[in-house]
């Protein structure tokens, strides 16, 4: 008789116990290690963060935009911890010194070669079920942005260089280049 293999689950404590400089995310108790981002990735994060922050500031908005690394605890348990490339949080009560407790309103992920499956499948499902209102997947290789507006149950694809409407802000468009 063969013994059943026990599946190991990790918690947020395990994430905080990682060696300095090592980054990982935790989804449903499973650790996913993250490679350092490349320059193109960071330039996209920087530009998108700037455009969103500028729009919020000009319109005296209540939301906060925070780039990675920033901890997001999606659920009321210790088995989910993600670091979206960009998080927009409109309920400031969710923000603590440790990060964001609960789903941000809008998340943007920039696809890296090693994160494709995570961004297009694992995180898509997790963000939708956690209550994220809008999720963008920006893919520099394909030069496309896929926009999921969960409130309207819509998905749209946009080429880089075109105006992309932001679902949580009427009249706000972003051009990804």
Structure confidence at residue 1 as a pLDDT band (50, 70, 90): low
Look up the pTM and report it: 0.93
60-113 pLDDT per residue, tens? 999 999 999 999 999 878 899 999 999 999 999 999 999 999 999 999 999 998
Q: What does the pLDDT read at residue 76?
A: 77
Q: What is the mean pLDDT of residues 32-50?
A: 94
Q: In DSSP terms, which residues pair with 175 in a beta bridge?
A: 163
What CA–CA distance (Å, rounded) separates 133 from 123? 13
| Mean pLDDT, rounded, for 136-154 | 96
- Average pLDDT, whole number, for the chain? 93
Could you give the CA distance from residue 135 to residue 64 in angstroms, rounded to a whole number? 16
């Amino acid at each position: 008789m063969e013994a059943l293999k026990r599946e190991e689950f990790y918690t947020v404590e395990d994430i905080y116990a990682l060696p300095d400089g090592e980054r990982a995310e935790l989804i449903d108790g499973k650790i996913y290690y993250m490679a350092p981002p490349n320059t193109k990735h960071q330039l996209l994060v920087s530009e998108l963060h700037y455009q969103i922050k500028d729009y919020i500031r000009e319109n005296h908005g209540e939301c906060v935009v925070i780039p990675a690394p920033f901890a997001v605890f999606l659920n009321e348990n210790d088995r989910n911890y993600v670091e979206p490339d960009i998080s927009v949080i409109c309920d400031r009560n969710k923000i603590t010194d440790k990060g964001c407790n609960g789903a941000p309103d809008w998340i943007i992920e920039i696809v890296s070669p090693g994160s494709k499956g995570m961004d297009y499948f694992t995180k898509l499902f997790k963000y939708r079920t956690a209550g994220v209102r809008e999720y963008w997947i920006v893919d520099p290789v394909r030069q496309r942005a896929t926009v999921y507006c969960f409130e309207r149950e819509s998905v749209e694809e946009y080429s880089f260089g075109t105006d992309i409407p932001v679902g949580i802000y009427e009249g706000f468009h972003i051009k990804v280049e």
